[in-house]
A and B are shown apart, each in its own frame.
Chain A
Amino acid sequence: MFRFSSLMLGKALVVAEMVNGKVSPATLSAITAASKVGPVTALVAGSNAKDAAAVVATVQSVAEVLATVGEHYDHGLPEEYAPLIEAAVQAHKYTHVFAGTSAFGKNVVPRAAALAGCMPIAEITAVKSEDTFVRQAFAGNAITTVKSKDKVKYCTVRGTAFERVAAEGGSATVSDLPAVSPVKSAKFVEDKLTKSDKPDLATAATVIAGGRGMKSGENFKILEELAAPLHAAVGATRAVVDAGYVPNEMQVGQTGKTVAPNFYLACGISGAIQHVAGMKDSKVIAVINTDEEAPFFQIADYGIVDDLFKVVPALTEKVKANAK
């Protein structure tokens, strides 16, 4: 252990997010990032925090789990979470607070940082040392290495930049962290979640995305048909989301989701910088576009200048035939 001590100067707290009784993929990536600075403690809170803690305790690289029971933590409200994180940092002297870059992490971590007077570090893509991190700015066109002089570093972690730790095989100790009395300045009303049995866009190995060239929401069916045999997720550009073709949680880009799948197939997408910012770390990129001047061809490994309404169904047939 001591051999690696140059990096292991910290004591990290990961604010865990649970999705349907499982640790979220974003949290598993955050644990990888956190384990680079020191021993990792995970925090879970909610009315069923005890059950959640038992699940988190089996995650690799987690040394300790703090469980806070309180129903005011059930919906991830930052007004309630931030004081709890602050109390945990005070009580256990953590040097780092990490969370995944999800809507939850982005909402909660900066607020907790404010309570400590620290500058949060958003969407880190690498941990250089306990106080030096890499992140992107200008829609991914500038990669910056920043050094924090804050006592406690509050970071959100870009999920696609870190491997996810295994959700099994760990054996962390579980201890209680007392709840902070409810703030009640915000009230949870309801969740309107899109139910889907398809692979999650942010973590899928293959992503097929459609842009304005799809012409209508109806036409996304042809992408779904290709996606099904490939177990791929279907994404979209801001333009088609704005046009109401598909729901906004399908948006890939600077202001939508960041994906880095094995294979990204872009159909009818020009490749504007805001879109590319969300997928340029994909391993293999293929582009189908009728416009041979489309900027996307400059970053694509494979491109075909043709009508997607001809190419996509043809690909689907070939994939299906091959599967048989």
Chain B
Amino acid sequence: MFRTLPNYLKVAVCVKRVVDYTVKVRVKDNKVQTANSKMSVNPFDEIAIEEAIQLKEKKLATEVVAVTIGSKKAEEVLRTAMALGCDTAVHVVVPDAAAETVEPLAVAQILQKLHEDLKPDIWILGKQAVDDDCGCTAQLLAGLLNVPQGTFASKVEVKGNAVTVTREVDAGHQVVELTTPCVLAADLRLNTPRFPKLPNIMKARKKPIDTRDVAAFGVDIAPHLSTEVVTEPETRKAGVKVKSVDEFYDKLCNEAKVL
């Protein structure tokens, strides 16, 4: 391919299939019941995909590869990613029985192996998955690869091999400059993901997916953390609805003593 600029990049995006964020999961038999729940792309990963595609549209990236690690069904999130504009996809297939217990550490170790193969300049992940709420895969991957990390990214600017990242921190923003290869973790404010268009969804169905067996990576996917107990949070006792502002104030002031 003819390259007009020397700094064309390859971007890898990581996508996770999770229980849809609007679903309130139930806990039963010491386990979170996810069997018949609606599943979708982790919301932060949608933002990561959008950012990768925008880099391509700005002619900063030449290729975007979507990666997922999960059961056979996880293929659907790769189809979504390709319908949105990712060029290729890699699916690391984990047997159904083990799929639910794959931890961020194992994911990062698999991605580390994939890195040798794909050699992307930038990895973009979501800042956290809304199922396990760990928020650590990007940091683990960056640590394993020994490359810089731009977590909670709300703005990304690429110039040559310098990536300037604005990060959301507790009291505002922090700007850091990283060199490629690097790992980014998308925060909510990074962008607004687009919706896939129907013709693109149809086209994405025909695109090939590079399917690989997790066993081929030689990564131990047995969990380091064993889940002993899962419970539902304690339900709060029902409160009272009051009729007037006076009564509202009175309750808060004299009964709850919070005003």
- Contact partner of B242 among A112, A132, A242, A304, CB < 8 A? A304
- Contact partner of A137 among B32, B148, B167, B241, CB < 8 A? B32
- Contacting pair A137 B133 (CB below 8 A): yes
- Contacting pair A302 B252 (CB below 8 A): yes
Chain B hits for A117, CB < 8 A: 105
Closest CB of chain B to A302's CB: distance in Å?
A: 5
- Contacting pair A248 B140 (CB below 8 A): no
In the complex, B4 has a CB within 8 A of chain A: no
Chain A hits for B242, CB < 8 A: 302-304
- Contacting pair A322 B256 (CB below 8 A): no
The count of residues in chain B whose C-beta lies closer than 8 Å to any C-beta of chain A is 82
Chain A hits for B32, CB < 8 A: 137-138, 141-142
Closest CB of chain A to B161's CB: distance in Å?
A: 12
The interface stretch among B49-57, B195-203, B232-240 is B232-240
- Contacting pair B239 A301 (CB below 8 A): yes
In the complex, A110 has a CB within 8 A of chain B: yes
- Contacting pair A146 B233 (CB below 8 A): no
Mark A279-306 against chain B: 1 for CB-CB distance below 8 A, else 0. Answer: 0100011101000100001111111111
In the complex, B79 has a CB within 8 A of chain A: no
| Max count, chain B CB within 10 A of own CB: residue among A114, A247, A310 | A114
Bound together, the chains give a CA A303 to CA B256 distance in angstroms of 13
Bound together, the chains give a CA A122 to CA B104 distance in angstroms of 11
Bound together, the chains give a CA A323 to CA B148 distance in angstroms of 53
Bound together, the chains give a CA A318 to CA B134 distance in angstroms of 43
Query: Given known contacts A189-B175, A255-B188, what 4 new A-B pairs fall within 8 Å (CB)?
Result: A108-B139, A122-B134, A186-B178, A299-B239
Can you spell out 15 A-B residue pairs with CB atoms less than 8 angstroms apart? A78-B151, A103-B168, A106-B139, A106-B151, A113-B140, A122-B134, A137-B133, A138-B32, A147-B226, A148-B225, A186-B176, A280-B233, A284-B252, A285-B236, A315-B245
Chain A positions near chain B (C-beta within 8 angstroms): 75, 77-79, 82, 102-104, 106-115, 117-123, 132, 136-150, 185-194, 202, 206, 230, 238, 241-242, 247-249, 254-255, 257, 262-263, 273-274, 280, 284-286, 288, 292, 297-306, 310-311, 314-315, 318-319, 322
Shortest Cβ-Cβ A-B pairs, 9 listed: A114-B143, A110-B136, A263-B258, A110-B139, A119-B224, A186-B148, A193-B172, A103-B169, A189-B175
Chain B positions near chain A (C-beta within 8 angstroms): 19, 21-22, 24-27, 32, 44, 103-105, 108, 127-128, 130-136, 139-144, 146-152, 154, 164, 166-179, 187-189, 223-233, 236, 238-245, 248-249, 251-253, 256, 258-259
